[in-house]
Structure 1
Amino acid sequence: MKSKKIEFTGSLGDTLSAKLDLPDKEQKGTVLFAHCFTCSKNLRVMSNITSILAELGFATFRFDFTGLGESDGDFANTNFSSNVDDLVAAYKYLEAEGNAPTILAGHSLGGAAVLQAAHHMDSVKAVATIAAPAHPAHVRENFSMHLDEIEEKGEAEVTLAGRKFTIKKQFLDDLKEARMSDFIKKLDRALMIFHSPLDNTVGIDNASMIFNAAKHPKSFVSLDEAGHLLSDDKDSKYVGRVLATWAEKYI
């Protein structure tokens, strides 16, 4: 797999860091991939999935959302809507480069984001979610002990996965405004849902809600004993293989 480092302008005007992973053989299509909440494009699960996709002929464009990883910007000024808009900005960059994505994929909150962003991407034929919440407000549970402080003071510093982040009230308000069911019902693209029945972060009931709201063609793949972050390499590589095989039907 060959990788190119890329920079493009995000939805809030900041420079975002990206990687374009390319197959060594003829390219079948391009996957635009959204990482999980407060994660980065360099998370091992993403590297594993993109390496398998490249092996099977797919290029993958992955990037750090505004204020995360190697991207510029202040995370405190972002929200779910800005993540969706960053995805659209990434799509427009690829489109301008003559490499418009045909597949859209997202992990956890990134999965919820791709379900909304797909409506702004004409070239996308299929969408895949991995351990995605049926509603982005699910992420409130990550800082539930600070909700009163955020409401009263307008912001609070929270620790997520050992790192400190400032969460502002506007972030919570934006989550409340996100309406997922209509976006899922009107997706008008093939949908693949990956989820583990043992996911203790985003329960399997979220996969059921997404599946029931979506119209055909739709598919569900159980990730058996996988954790939410697919920390075991065999789980993320399995997702990559199934995603590539499934996606070929729609490109």
Structure 2
Amino acid sequence: MALLPQNPPLQRHRVMIPNRQGEKLVGVLHESGSRDIVILCHGFRCSKDTSLILTLAVALENAKISSFRFDFSGNGESEGLFQYGNYWREVDDLHAVTQHFRESNRVISAIVGHSKGGDIVLLYASKYHDIKTVVNLSGRYDLKEGIEERLGKDYLERIRKDGFIDVKKSRSETFDFRVTVESLMDRLGTNMYEACLQIDKECRVLTIHGSSDEIIPVEDAFEFAKIIPNLKLHVIEGADHRFSNHREELSSVVVNFIKETLPLHQVKGTDS
């Protein structure tokens, strides 16, 4: 694959891409001179500017690999209303992004997602089959789990009674977001097991999880490893959900996995 002009300066560009609904998805392109590009996907109630996503973008820059980090619709700077659940809608947002860069003659070398974003990149691979390297960081295997911790033990009774649940920010009375019956059913109806069975055997999948993840247990990573055929599992001992004190190891494993599929002329001389 041909490179862009030799040794260009690193550049960052704000890019807006319309999704299927016509909403503008806002992102930042880290232009490192490579035709290949990695798409970075944030997690629940996060954004493209989350420190973990920024850390990965900089690590890819140092490896001279271009990347694009963006906000899903209803998150960060992107247009649209935030909705709980919304998994397949976010998959379609990601597809709009990959199509935009393909039309610009770029090669999508990998898609990387953290937490809910990890589920999104796996769901994308199960539906579109056009990207051969997928990285799932701390994704949740069973989407029926984790709801009670966020919505309360009686969430089913409350949502049946009122038709919605308003979630407040931790230690605050401030309203954060609303969960409707429809959006709850969207999450409960998203089956990661069935989706992962549809991922091509040729698709390389890396799952990284912290052994001390306090939000999504590390056991979820082992469940993914049981059903995805071409999966490499890397558990980071002592790491929490955001890999707060293990960013160097995380970045190294992610970048090296991605570099394995890049043209030899691109990876020579990189310092990642």
Structure with max Cα Rg: 2
Distance 1:139 1:16 in 2: 28
Residue in 1 that maps onto 2:106: 99
Letter in 1 for 2:45: T
Indicate the residue corresponding to 2:7 in structure 1.
none
8 A Cα contact 2:115 2:139, kept in partner: yes
* Contact 1:135–1:180, Cα closer than 8 Å, also in 2: yes
> What is residue 237 of structure 1 aligned with on the other side?
248
Query: 2:126, 2:197 within 8 Å by CA — same for their partners in 1?
Result: no
In structure 2, distance between residues paired with 1:178 and 1:165: 20
- Contact preservation (8 Å) 1:34, 1:62: yes
**In structure 1, how many angstroms separate the alpha carbons of the residues matched to 2:138 and 2:256?**
19
Partner of 1:187: 199
Aligned-residue offset at 1:120:
4.6
Match of 1:202 in 2: 216
Q: 2:243 touches 2:250 (CA, 8 Å); kept in 1? A: no
Other structure's SS at 1:84 match: helix
Match of 1:80 among 81, 87, 91: 87
Cα distance in 2 for residues equivalent to 1:194 and 1:213:
16
Counterpart of 2:108 in 1: which secondary structure?
A: coil
| TM-aligned CA deviation for residue 28 of structure 1 | 6.4
Q: Which residue of 1 aligns with 2:31?
A: 22
Alpha-carbon deviation of 1:78? 6.5
Structure 1 residue 32 displacement after superposition = 1.1
1:156 to 161, 165, 168: 165
CA distance in 1, matches of 2:47, 2:169: 13
Q: Secondary structure at the match of 1:94?
A: helix
RMSD: 2.0
Tell me which residue corresponds to 2:4: none
Distance 1:77 1:105 in 2: 21
Q: Structure 1, unaligned stretches of length 5 or more?
A: none
What residue is the counterpart of 1:7 in the other structure?
A: 16
Equivalent residue, structure 1, for 2:151:
144
The range that moved more, 188-197 or 145-154, is 145-154
Percent sequence identity is 22
Number of equivalenced pairs: 246
Following the alignment from structure 1 to structure 2, what is the Cα–Cα distance between the partners of residues 182 and 201?
A: 23
Q: Aligned partners of 2:131, 2:213: CA distance in 1, in Å?
A: 28
Shift of 1:123: 4.3
- Equivalent of 1:220 in 227, 233, 247: 233
The separation in 1 between residues aligned to 2:70 and 2:93, in whole angstroms, is 9
Shift of the alpha carbon at 1:246? 1.3
Distance 1:160 1:184, change over 3 A: farther
| TM-fit CA distance, 1:244 | 1.5
Greater share of residues in helix: 1
SS in 2 for 1:138: coil
Aligned-pair CA distance for 1:49: 0.9
TM-score by length of 1: 0.90
CA contact (8 A) 2:135 2:206 kept: yes
Q: Deviations over 1:32-79 (max 9, x none)?
A: 111111100000111011100111121111111111111111113861
Please tell me whether residue 50 in structure 1 is matched to residue 57 in structure 2.
Answer: yes
Contact 1:142 1:160 in 2 (8 A): no
Structure 1 segment 157-176 matched on structure 2, within 5 A = 157-160=166-169, 164-176=176-188
